[in-house]
Amino acid sequence: MARADDQGVYSIGAVARMLGLGASTLRAWEDRYAVVVPIRSGGAQRLYSRAQVEQLRFLKARIEAGVSAADAHRLLAQELAAGSLPAAGDPHRATGPMVLIAERDAYAAGLAEYFLRTEGYDVAIALDATQAKLYFDELAPHIVLVDLLISGGAGFRLVAEFSADARAQVVAVSALGSAEEALRAGAAAFLRKPLEPLTLVSTIRDLLGTSALVRPGAQPSSIR
């Protein structure tokens, strides 16, 4: 029996709203590339699984980073073939802890996503504060990586909002020396940009393993 996550649960209108894409775009991608193909209800309505929503997020992030739609679909097909992304209808696909990346720079978000996925984490990317809040509510991530300058400096507000929810821990990131302010706002850790991959992965692993909060005067064990 397939998991509930693999069954068609979202209408095309709901997916379009969640991802900030037009329903016509989703239909065009389906017709042209046939990589993300929803099932049809008895009334011929398109129904997308949660796995397919993640696949569409992957496409959107790549396209916003400058990749063509055709190349983004080729990349997605390769990731699905390699088992790096959940395939709709695959009941045996294991998923790791969910990390939400709230990052204003699509290129930086893509790099962080790559390193985290290679370590077995599930990753979602939000490129503005509104999208970050929608994904936080929908995905219930274990860790949220927040660029403090996202949406013109809305990162501090996101840190405070997300850290008030016991479901997740927040890692604030910035090219500025804003560690003290971020920790006061509720962040569990602060990392300076550009992110060093080993430090990023180690910090997230430490937080998931110990649930220890890092406050002013302390540093996570992975930061040297």
Average pLDDT, the chain: 83
Position 211 scores a pLDDT of 39
State the pLDDT confidence band at 222, using cuts at 50, 70 and 90. very low
Same domain, 79 and 142: no
Which of 67-71, 87-91, 121-125, 205-209 tops mean pLDDT? 67-71
Same domain, 9 and 35: yes
Q: When comparing pLDDT for 164 and 90, which is higher?
A: 164
Same domain, 208 and 154: yes
Same domain, 222 and 137: yes
Position 33 scores a pLDDT of 96
Position 156 scores a pLDDT of 96
Position 220 scores a pLDDT of 38
Last residue of a domain, one of 70, 94, 118: 94
Whole domain around residue 52: which residue ranges? 1-94
Q: SS3 of 196, please?
A: coil
Same domain, 81 and 176: no
| Number of separate domains in the chain | 2
Q: Provide CB contacts within 8 A for 109, sequence distance 6+.
A: 61, 65, 101, 103, 125, 127
Same domain, 1 and 83: yes
Give the CATH number for residue 161: 3.40.50.2300
Give the CATH number for residue 37: 1.10.1660.10
Same domain, 44 and 81: yes
How would you class 194 by CB atoms within 10 Å of its CB: exposed for 0-12, middle for 13-18, buried for 19 or more? exposed
Same domain, 49 and 138: no
Last residue of a domain, one of 79, 94, 109: 94
User: Tens digits of per-residue pLDDT, 77-131?
Assistant: 988 887 766 565 544 344 578 999 999 988 888 889 888 888 888 888 888 999 8
Which contiguous run of DSSP H or E holds residue 183? helix 179-185
Q: Provide CB contacts within 8 A for 222, sequence distance 6+.
A: 198, 199, 202, 203, 205, 206
Same domain, 108 and 151: yes
Same domain, 116 and 170: yes
For the cut 90, the answer to whether the pLDDT of residue 161 exceeds it is: yes
User: Tens digits of per-residue pLDDT, 173-191?
Assistant: 999 888 999 999 999 999 9
Which contiguous run of DSSP H or E holds residue 118? helix 106-118
Position 93 scores a pLDDT of 44
Position 223 scores a pLDDT of 33
Same domain, 188 and 152: yes
CA torsion through residues 59, 64, 67, 70, sign: positive
Last residue of a domain, one of 94, 122, 141: 94
Same domain, 84 and 101: no
CA 10/CA 214 separation, integer angstroms: 38
